[in-house]
Amino acid sequence: MYETAATTAADGMMLLGASIKDAQLLSSQTKFDQCVEILNGMLKGENGISNKDYFRIVREFMEKEKSEYYPALFVGMDASLRKEWLIEEKLLEDY
């Protein structure tokens, strides 16, 4: 009986250890981090956003970080919509 209990406990500990290891491998990147990566990509190119717009947008996202939905919306929307959405939100100066 004690041997069965010890084996069961050992198996449970192995499963727990594997779960902890898997959890540590998951990305700890936030939606804000993802927004910044996307905005960095939008800086480049002929139709890219300006540095001034970049800083304005990042500040807005930092304020909206309190509401997880604002950055999540930006990250989750189709790339073709992002610039139009930034214009709608009045975050791009030239529009």
Condensed to tens digits (0 to 9), the pLDDT of residues 71-95 reads: 888 888 888 888 888 888 888 876 6
Condensed to tens digits (0 to 9), the pLDDT of residues 13-63 reads: 777 676 666 655 666 778 888 888 888 888 877 788 888 898 888 888 887
> What single letter denotes the amino acid at residue 60?
E
Residue 13, in any domain of the structure = no
Residue 76, in any domain of the structure = yes
Is the CB of residue 82 less than 8 Å from the CB of residue 38? yes
Number of domains making up the chain: 1
Residue 61, in any domain of the structure = yes
Residue 23, in any domain of the structure = no
Domain that holds residue 52: 31-88
Considering only CA atoms, which of 74, 68, 69, 72 is closest in space to residue 86?
A: 74
pTM for this entry? 0.52
Residue 55, in any domain of the structure = yes
CA distances from 70 to 27, 35, 81, 85 (A): 20, 10, 15, 11
